[in-house]
């Protein structure tokens, strides 16, 4: 029974490989198993420990140049799943000639055995977070600490046979204090995240939030925390770097290669940097990951390409064929976006924004956003702000970047320091 918590495949692909070899022109099998363990925190107690294991198989076939796709978690439905993919290919206008032969980049520190056996660590981690928050006199209202291991394998008719393992640990806590609330999160590839720091941040901002006052409307210099930087860029900017969006008229960056699009900021997609959360030897269709400079000192240099769209534009893939979930088609998505700006130790006067509410409502086609900053703090007056509204356009905002901090933190896809922007319109 021990094996049921282990990071091992149970589904035998052999019959599917034979079936697809015989019945399709080209084929691909994406096989993934994930073991996830989590403790949930509710109002200062650990509510439960969950262990889950899910294994899934995604099939892509090409018949007469047309692509079909299907997915299953049911070991008894493997051949039916292959047949469905073939059936769908008949009506598909998704075109491909073949799949990548694939390759591996060298990436270190993305798998740590300890994470897969983390039950006891999770319980202790939960207690640490709770006690740190309680010491501040704040309610640790809701939280989750999760440790997961994933093994993925790609087989295809072009000869790719790739396998990799990775681990991921994440923690989240939302603290409530009087009428105020705030959250923070932290992640790592290993069981080494700084839980106290996360818990202290969330507690401090919850206290700020409870005392928060109003802000006068006007232009302010603002500082975005790494969390706020990610929330904004992920929703309002990153879709514009996808070559598919560029080709389909959905990117304001189309036709602007080698033009100055932002101020002094560089954005680099790097899928093979050691230890980062989206790093992997190969992307979700087998192309080796790489480093792609998107913006260099404000100049637009490149776009991201998965296998299909790299062929459409006669270029090499950039290792950005990513499946949002294991049951999804690979599409062009960022891996780790490294944000580089001039680094400074500290800043003086600014409105510091810890997190945004509603970032997903940003207009990803135009880059326009109107976001609630909650919580925020006017640093020169040490004045917490209950709520402020930030309006603008991400392309205008990135022209106003002044500098950033020295320490970089990764929040999901974004590896960034805090960033300071000059003269941004804020409303109360």
Least separation in angstroms between CB 288 and another protein: 24
In the block, which residue shows the tokens 């189309």?
Answer: 254
Nearest to another protein of 67, 267 (CB atom): 67
Nearest to another protein of 74, 101 (CB atom): 74
Task: Tell me if 415 sits within 8 A of 235, measured CB to CB.
Answer: no
Nearest to another protein of 159, 358 (CB atom): 358
d(CA 248, CA 316): 19
Nearest to another protein of 329, 403 (CB atom): 329
The encoded tokens of residue 382 equal: 């040490």
DSSP letter for 330, please: P
SS (H, E, C) 43-65: CCEEEEEEEEEEEEEEEEEEECC
Task: Count CB atoms within 10 A of the CB of residue 247.
Answer: 14
Nearest to another protein of 312, 316 (CB atom): 312
The candidate with the shortest Cα–Cα distance to 242, out of 292, 289, 305, is 305
Least separation in angstroms between CB 35 and another protein: 9
Nearest to another protein of 93, 348 (CB atom): 93
Least separation in angstroms between CB 84 and another protein: 4
Nearest to another protein of 182, 419 (CB atom): 182
Least separation in angstroms between CB 364 and another protein: 8
Least separation in angstroms between CB 88 and another protein: 5
Least separation in angstroms between CB 338 and another protein: 25
The candidate with the shortest Cα–Cα distance to 390, out of 349, 343, 426, is 426
d(CA 288, CA 225): 32
What are the C-alpha distances in Å from 106 to residues 109, 149, 280, 323?
10, 19, 8, 21
Least separation in angstroms between CB 215 and another protein: 13
Task: Count CB atoms within 10 A of the CB of residue 37.
Answer: 23
Q: Is 137 left (phi over 0), alpha (psi -120 to 50) or beta?
A: left
């Amino acid at each position: 029974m021990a094996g049921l918590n282990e990071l091992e495949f149970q589904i035998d692909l052999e019959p599917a490989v034979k079936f697809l070899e015989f019945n399709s022109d080209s084929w691909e099998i994406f096989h993934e198993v994930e073991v996830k363990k989590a403790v949930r925190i509710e109002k200062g107690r650990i509510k439960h420990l969950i262990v889950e294991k899910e294994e899934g198989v995604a099939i892509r076939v090409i018949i007469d140049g047309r692509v079909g796709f299907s997915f299953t978690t049911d070991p008894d439905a493997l051949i039916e799943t292959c047949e469905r993919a073939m059936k769908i290919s008949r009506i598909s206008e998704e075109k491909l000639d073949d799949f990548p032969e694939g390759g591996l980049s060298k990436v270190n520190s993305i798998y740590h055995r300890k994470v897969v056996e983390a039950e006891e660590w999770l319980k202790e981690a939960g207690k640490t977070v709770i006690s740190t928050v309680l010491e501040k006199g704040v309610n640790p209202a809701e939280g989750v600490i999760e440790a997961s291991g994933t093994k993925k394998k790609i087989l295809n008719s072009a000869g790719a046979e790739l396998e990799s393992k990775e681990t991921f640990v994440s923690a989240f806590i939302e603290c409530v204090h009087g009428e105020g609330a705030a959250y923070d999160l932290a992640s790592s590839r290993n069981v080494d995240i700084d839980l106290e720091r996360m818990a202290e941040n969330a507690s401090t901002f919850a206290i700020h939030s409870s005392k928060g006052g109003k802000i006068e409307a006007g232009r302010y210099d603002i500082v975005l925390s790494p969390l706020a930087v990610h929330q904004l860029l992920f929703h309002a900017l990153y879709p514009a770097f996808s070559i598919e969006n560029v080709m389909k008229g959905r990117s304001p960056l189309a036709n602007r290669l080698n033009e100055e699009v932002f101020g002094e900021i560089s954005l680099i997609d790097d899928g093979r940097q050691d230890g980062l959360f989206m790093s992997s030897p190969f992307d979700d269709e087998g192309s080796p990951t790489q480093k792609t400079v998107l913006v260099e000192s404000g100049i637009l240099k490149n776009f991201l390409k998965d296998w299909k769209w790299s062929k459409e534009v006669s270029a090499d893939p950039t290792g950005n064929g990513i499946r949002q979930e294991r049951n999804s088609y690979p599409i062009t998505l960022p891996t780790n976006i490294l944000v580089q700006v001039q680094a400074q130790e500290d800043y003086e006067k600014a409105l510091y924004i810890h997190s945004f509410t509603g970032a997903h409502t940003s207009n990803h086609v135009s880059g326009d956003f109107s976001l609630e900053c909650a919580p925020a703090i006017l640093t020169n007056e040490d004045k917490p702000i209950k709520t402020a509204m930030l309006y603008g356009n991400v392309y205008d905002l990135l022209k106003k970047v002044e500098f950033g901090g020295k320490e970089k933190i990764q929040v999901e896809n974004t590896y960034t320091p805090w960033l300071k922007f000059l003269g941004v319109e804020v409303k109360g």
